[in-house]
Amino acid sequence: MNKIPAGTTKKDFAKFLYTRQELPNAAIALSVGVEEYTVRKWAADGAWDGMRQGLKTGAKSNVVRLHKLLEGLCEKVAADPEPNPKDVDLILKYSAAIKNLEPEVGICEIVEVAELFVLWLRTQNLALAKQTAALLDKFIALKVKEKKGEIL
């Protein structure tokens, strides 16, 4: 039996293993210390199959899949003295798809999250919040320079 993270129920951990790790019911049952039929019931009652499918088709999962496909194609093209133009075209299409699925985070979003984080951190540790704010200012300045093309 795997150690269930603190504050997590057996059912929640089983759900994680089912939807994210895609383990079979028997392995999940063994990991969380329940019978296999319990895992099947939880999965059916909670519609875990739908969640599993949703995670497979999400943007992040698609990017991972595209990266794997792209890597395989690049290896194939690199090994071939006369690459197939269709493979080269697919490389360009996969690269464009990855770029579209991985939108660049803008400076505004970075600043907004940094401000919210520093505000929260002040309630936890004022000295650390001051240090973090200074580092975030440097990070944001670097990102602004990168955006302007000053740093490559």
- pLDDT tens digit sequence for 88-143: 898 999 888 887 777 666 777 788 888 889 888 888 999 999 999 999 989 988 88
Rounded CA-CA distance 75/70 in Å is 9
The whole model's pTM is what?
Answer: 0.42
Q: Tell me what pLDDT residue 5 has.
A: 72
pLDDT of residue 104: 62
Higher pLDDT, 57 or 116: 116
Query: Rounded to whole angstroms, how far apart are CA atoms 30 and 146?
Result: 49
| Confidence class for position 15, pLDDT limits 50, 70, 90 | confident
Q: Give the pLDDT band of residue 30 (cuts 50, 70, 90).
A: very high
The residue ranges of every structural domain in the chain are: 10-56, 59-101, 107-148
CA distance to 1, 138, 140, 150, per residue, from 121 (Å): 37, 18, 18, 31
